[in-house]
A and B are shown apart, each in its own frame.
Chain A
Amino acid sequence: MNITHQKPPADDALPAIFRMRAVTKEYQVGDNVIRALRGIDLDLFAGELVVFLGASGSGKSTLLNILGGLDSATSGSVRYQELELCGADDATLTEYRRQHVGFVFQFYNLIPSLTARENVAIVTEIATDPMAPDDALALVDLGARADHFPGQLSGGEQQRVAIARAIAKQPAVLLCDEPTGALDSRTGIKVLKALEHANRALGTTTAVITHNEAIAAMADRVVRLSDGRISDISHNPGRADPETLHW
């Protein structure tokens, strides 16, 4: 079953900044065609925090990659405001990522030869309206560790540096792929708090991908995927404080 229309979020005033229509994605793997997305229609609204839930292979990472301009849809339309991402060339996608998107990954993907501050600076140096790297680190409560190299930080700290790096350019959207996937639950909650704080403080639209049901409670909206389709969209009456989550 396709869900073609979503109700806008509780706060009706928010405009949609992403509009996805009939998005499909197919991969050729050997002789087989894998259909990762089989027709997605979805809007994302400014400032909301959306959690995408789904099992491994449900298509959630593919969706995030397409939203982030790392991958292109096979058919359909993906609009970020006025920009059509579907079929855009590499240079356009690079500019798009550079100006508008912040990424957080499961394995942090920090540059080992740069300190925490420099890992943030590497993004702010190429952004048009960034915040100061130290402010971004303060936002994730890592001001004191700014001069440490990734090798000297714990997993949770590394992930918070990654969040600071992602938000420092003040992106329109923050895309997080299993941000707590490599962390224990106590550390994971610290990371989620940092995400929550950034979302509230900066009003950045935030999409979090996870297979961890417990995280869904902190979202405005929860989108469930299975087998390349959206199977359900639900609204949380209120966002739960990450501190109250456990798994």
Chain B
Amino acid sequence: MRALNRKLFRDLWGLRAQAVAIALVIAGGVATWVISLSTIESLENSQRMFYQNYRFADVFASLERAPLVTVDRIREIPGVRAAEGRVRASATLTLQGFDEPVEALLTSIPEADDAMLNRLFLEAGRLPRAGDDSAVVVSESFAEAHRLNVGDGIDAIVRGQSSRLVISGIGLSPEFVYQIRPGSLFPDHKRYATIWMRQRPLAQAAGMEGAFNDIVLQLERNADAAAVVEALDGILERWGGTGAVLRDDQTSHSYLREEMEQLRAMARIVPLIFLGVAAFLLNIVIHRMVRMQRDQIAILKAFGYPNRTIATHFTGLVMLIVLLGIVPGLALGGWMGHGLANIYREFFRFPELFFRVGPPVIASAVLATAGAALAGTWRALWSAFRAAPAEAMRPEQPTGFRRSLVERVPLFRGLDQPTRMIVRSLERQPIKALLAVIGIALAVAILVTGRFQQDTIGFMLDVQFGFAAREDMTVTFIEPTGRDALHEIRALPGVIEAEPFRAVAVKLVHGHRSHRSAVQAYGRDATLHRALDRSLEPIEMPDSGLLLTDWLADQLAVEVGQSVTVEFLEGRRPRLEVPVDGVVREFVGASAYMGLDAVNRLLRESDSISGVYLTADPSERDRLLGELERRPRIATTSLLENAVAGFNRTMGENIRIFSLVNTLLAGVVAFGVIYNTARLALSERARELASLRVLGFRRGEVAWVLLGELALLTAAAIPLGLWLGYGFCSLIGRAMASEFYRIPTVIHADSYAFATVVVLAAMLVSMLAIGRRLYRLDLVEVLKTRE
């Protein structure tokens, strides 16, 4: 090995503790880079393949009921390549050994063969044989949640009629990559199923013979999508169409799109933080090293080593540290990426979701890391390249100090000398001090952000289920029903309270803005299920006006006191101007609210309701569920509480793992910054500190000069970091706000405390590591040499 290379490795060995601290930060950056980019890539690939191969439709519309011949008219709309009418129905399933009702969405596939659009991928089994009326394909997530296999039977109640279904296949559809019950916060695979069956038996069960109530279209490549939607809505209007939507507004697709947006944002921001911190740390370490080795550089150059070789030598050192970080970073990224892919598999169902760390991702991670490292060190490397042999042999000018600005403040005039040393040292290198503060603050912010998810979901659940939706179950009727149904339910065994609601699909228009939504209507005296105002107080349903979710009000650019045009998409489809009486704050969904009587008045329906919220005596629950199932007008019954518990079970573990990893990574950043700052201060000041020891300063007093600086930097960084953390969380919340949910910036005090404690712990560990070196400071050695 050449002598210069030996020097390289020995220098690295001398720097080992700092090098490892920096390598850990780099590993964090590489890992997050690899995880987010690979996950995006694998999601995009899986999505593209699934959509293409299984012909995901472009336009989706549902309606009340139209004769099948209408499909032919729709096919003739210019730009439509294919159209498929389907029957959809809700059902309540009962499963052996599971004592809660399961809500199911049944979708028809043509009598023979597979569907033309939104074709099924069969994980197991086969499509139902034509003529086999009881055979169905069930969604994979539901089958997994209940360990169902091909050949197993399910009891389904459609419109009060119970029938025995037999699973012929387990499958996936591009339409249901993300399966969520409308209005739910999270997917609940145990209590929500997607089921496909042949058209004829489903039409029979749903009372849709010779008709369809749902249609999907595929468009020509250059079709004018908006024109197609308009034409389609025109045709379907008389058949109770509720307005067609494009892919972008299709539920599963838009959830997936939002998720990928978030991942892209994460891919942009998080690795940047890690690599920025790593670049800063490399900067201070390499800068220091080149300065310390001025005479060595001079001698090498004097003996004829070219500038280039010297610069390459130090660059090699930087690259070795980078390599030390990249290798474990790639491994960590691969390992965590698989973990994340497993979480995605739980929520997003593709025929295959291959998580693979491809060569382009590895190459980009390596390039980004090397680039960041060089950006951080180029000035030091350049000075090694430029150093003239003669100049470098001369001792460096003594560092110039001056009185610090702080000392002009009267309060600080009485500082003792060691404290004065701290203040002046900080003021002499303000940029370095500032970067160190920012680095530590970022670690604090990462920690706060890591706890944000748990805090805010907890808060959303508390508000949603503790305050807004306090019912035990929701009973939904097949179609709007007279109030007698409410009385009937009230009289059932175990029912404690029951409140009616009405939900109507609407299109809200304000100026040139419009949005499809639903009007939820409750009685004025509702206590179970309520809307909340901006300060989360229950808000009374207005007599005639409308309440809008804050998000919806923003989308429509409408303020309280103005009116919006409400186009009801049901019944006699009135189109009316309705004043906005108030704004509702809600985290899940984006609805409009009205009084129950007002809606019925506008629809000219006397007292009809869509369903009932109720609380029930737990000991009577099973009997009550049995009674409800027997009633043909009831489409579904869903239990609230269990869904929440289920979510906590599935997500709890994942959140814990990720918050642990997050804590570790942030701890690494904090430790890396604090330890390196301290280590650098020690090497810059060893002589000074030894001099103080010689003069009779005790170890503790000397430690204060060094560690006081760290404590000061950390103390400045913590509040900044907490503030940054809040800012990050609120940015994330804003970025994630969508029609489906809005995320409030809720961070508990104990999360702030947690972030503070972790960073203080990192500071203590760094201080202990430095304190050991301080303890071993060689007093005699340091006096012999000139710095």
Q: Are A113's CB and B783's CB within 8 A?
A: no
Interface string of A135-177 (1 = CB under 8 A from B): 0000000000000011110000000000001000000000001
B693 to chain A: which residues have CB within 8 Å? 94
A71 at the interface (CB under 8 A from B): yes
A44 at the interface (CB under 8 A from B): no
B416 to chain A: which residues have CB within 8 Å? 125
Q: Are B695's CB and A151's CB within 8 A?
A: no
Interface string of B621-641 (1 = CB under 8 A from A): 000000000000000000000
A111 at the interface (CB under 8 A from B): yes
Q: Are A109's CB and B398's CB within 8 A?
A: no
Q: Which of A85-106 contact B (CB under 8 A)?
A: 90-91, 94-99, 101, 103, 105-106
A90 to B700, CA, bound (A): 12
B786 to chain A: which residues have CB within 8 Å? 107, 182
B780 at the interface (CB under 8 A from A): yes
Interface string of A101-125 (1 = CB under 8 A from B): 1010111011111110010011101
Q: Are A113's CB and B779's CB within 8 A?
A: no
A103 to B782, CA, bound (A): 14
B688 to chain A: which residues have CB within 8 Å? 111-112
Q: Which of B389-417 contact A (CB under 8 A)?
A: 397-403, 416-417
A70 at the interface (CB under 8 A from B): yes
Interface string of A68-91 (1 = CB under 8 A from B): 101100000000000000000011
> Which one, B401, B403, B698, B779, contacts A112 given CB within 8 A?
B401
A132 to chain B: which residues have CB within 8 Å? none
Q: Are B417's CB and A149's CB within 8 A?
A: no
Q: Spot the interface stretch: B421-429, B500-508, B648-656.
A: B421-429
A34 at the interface (CB under 8 A from B): no
Residue of A whose beta carbon sits closest to that of B782: A109
Q: Are A103's CB and B418's CB within 8 A?
A: no
Q: Are B687's CB and A109's CB within 8 A?
A: yes
A65 at the interface (CB under 8 A from B): yes
B704 at the interface (CB under 8 A from A): no
Whether A149 contacts B401 in the complex (CB less than 8 A), given A114-B420, A122-B695, comes out as: yes
B225 to chain A: which residues have CB within 8 Å? none
A207 to B672, CA, bound (A): 46
Q: Are B398's CB and A150's CB within 8 A?
A: yes
A106 to chain B: which residues have CB within 8 Å? 783
Q: Which of A7-24 contact B (CB under 8 A)?
A: none
B96 to chain A: which residues have CB within 8 Å? none
Q: Are B398's CB and A151's CB within 8 A?
A: yes
Whether A151 contacts B400 in the complex (CB less than 8 A), given A105-B783, A109-B687, A177-B783, comes out as: yes
Q: Are B420's CB and A126's CB within 8 A?
A: no
A98 to chain B: which residues have CB within 8 Å? 695-698
Chain A nearest CB from B595 CB (Å) reads 74
Chain A nearest CB from B426 CB (Å) reads 10
A112 to chain B: which residues have CB within 8 Å? 398-399, 401, 688
A110 to B691, CA, bound (A): 8
Q: Are B402's CB and A109's CB within 8 A?
A: no
B701 at the interface (CB under 8 A from A): yes
Residue of B whose beta carbon sits closest to that of A119: B417
> Which one, A61, A113, A150, contacts B424 given CB within 8 A?
A113
Chain B nearest CB from A221 CB (Å) reads 25
B400 to chain A: which residues have CB within 8 Å? 149, 151-152
A88 to B232, CA, bound (A): 98
B785 at the interface (CB under 8 A from A): yes
Residue of B whose beta carbon sits closest to that of A100: B696
> Which one, B691, B779, B780, contacts A111 given CB within 8 A?
B691
Q: Are A114's CB and B696's CB within 8 A?
A: no
Q: Are A111's CB and B698's CB within 8 A?
A: no
Q: Are A114's CB and B694's CB within 8 A?
A: no
A51 to B756, CA, bound (A): 58
Q: Are B696's CB and A107's CB within 8 A?
A: no
B787 to chain A: which residues have CB within 8 Å? 107
Whether A113 contacts B695 in the complex (CB less than 8 A), given A107-B783, A126-B701, A151-B401, comes out as: no
Q: Are A109's CB and B783's CB within 8 A?
A: yes
Q: Are A70's CB and B696's CB within 8 A?
A: no
B692 at the interface (CB under 8 A from A): yes
Residue of A whose beta carbon sits closest to that of B428: A113
Q: Are A94's CB and B399's CB within 8 A?
A: no
How many residues on A have C-beta within 8 angstroms of the other chain's C-beta atoms?
Answer: 39
Chain B nearest CB from A101 CB (Å) reads 7
Q: Which of B678-708 contact A (CB under 8 A)?
A: 687-688, 691-699, 701
Residue of B416, B425, B780, B783 with most partner-chain A CB within 10 A: B783
A90 to B787, CA, bound (A): 25
Residue of A whose beta carbon sits closest to that of B786: A107
Interface bracket on B: 20 to 34
Chain A nearest CB from B414 CB (Å) reads 11
A151 to B717, CA, bound (A): 31
> Which one, B399, B402, B424, B785, contacts A107 given CB within 8 A?
B785
Residue of B whose beta carbon sits closest to that of A70: B779
Q: Are A70's CB and B694's CB within 8 A?
A: yes
Q: Are A113's CB and B420's CB within 8 A?
A: yes
Residue of B401, B402, B687 with most partner-chain A CB within 10 A: B401
B401 to chain A: which residues have CB within 8 Å? 112-114, 149, 151
Residue of B397, B424, B696 with most partner-chain A CB within 10 A: B696
B403 to chain A: which residues have CB within 8 Å? 115
B424 to chain A: which residues have CB within 8 Å? 113-114
Q: Are B696's CB and A126's CB within 8 A?
A: yes
A112 to B421, CA, bound (A): 9
Chain A nearest CB from B428 CB (Å) reads 7
A121 to chain B: which residues have CB within 8 Å? 417
Interface string of B772-787 (1 = CB under 8 A from A): 0000000110011111
A161 to B400, CA, bound (A): 17
Residue of A whose beta carbon sits closest to that of B416: A125
Q: Are B783's CB and A122's CB within 8 A?
A: no
Q: Are A94's CB and B696's CB within 8 A?
A: yes
> Which one, B402, B425, B428, B698, contacts A94 given CB within 8 A?
B698
B697 to chain A: which residues have CB within 8 Å? 94, 98, 126
A91 to B701, CA, bound (A): 12
A110 to chain B: which residues have CB within 8 Å? 691
Residue of A whose beta carbon sits closest to that of B779: A70
A149 to chain B: which residues have CB within 8 Å? 400-402
> Which one, B398, B425, B780, contacts A70 given CB within 8 A?
B780
Chain A nearest CB from B592 CB (Å) reads 67
B694 to chain A: which residues have CB within 8 Å? 68, 70, 97, 103, 109
A47 to B452, CA, bound (A): 71
A65 to B781, CA, bound (A): 11
Q: Are B696's CB and A122's CB within 8 A?
A: no
Whether A114 contacts B417 in the complex (CB less than 8 A), given A97-B696, A109-B691, A151-B399, comes out as: yes
A127 to B399, CA, bound (A): 28
Q: Are A113's CB and B421's CB within 8 A?
A: yes
Residue of A whose beta carbon sits closest to that of B403: A115
Whether A123 contacts B695 in the complex (CB less than 8 A), given A113-B401, A151-B398, A151-B399, comes out as: yes
A115 to chain B: which residues have CB within 8 Å? 403
B397 to chain A: which residues have CB within 8 Å? 151
Chain B nearest CB from A157 CB (Å) reads 12
Q: Are B696's CB and A101's CB within 8 A?
A: yes
A1 to B344, CA, bound (A): 87
A149 to B416, CA, bound (A): 16
A77 to B661, CA, bound (A): 59
Q: Are A113's CB and B696's CB within 8 A?
A: no
A-B contact pairs, 26 of them (CB 8 A): A61-B784, A70-B694, A70-B783, A71-B779, A90-B699, A91-B698, A94-B697, A97-B695, A98-B698, A103-B695, A107-B783, A107-B787, A109-B691, A109-B783, A112-B401, A113-B420, A113-B421, A113-B425, A114-B420, A115-B403, A118-B417, A122-B417, A123-B696, A149-B400, A149-B402, A152-B400
User: Besides A111-B692, A151-B400, 9 other CB < 8 A contacts?
Assistant: A61-B784, A94-B699, A97-B696, A106-B783, A109-B694, A110-B691, A111-B688, A149-B401, A165-B695
Identify the 9 closest CB pairs spanning chains A and B, nearest first.
A98-B696, A122-B417, A97-B696, A109-B691, A151-B398, A113-B424, A113-B401, A107-B786, A149-B401
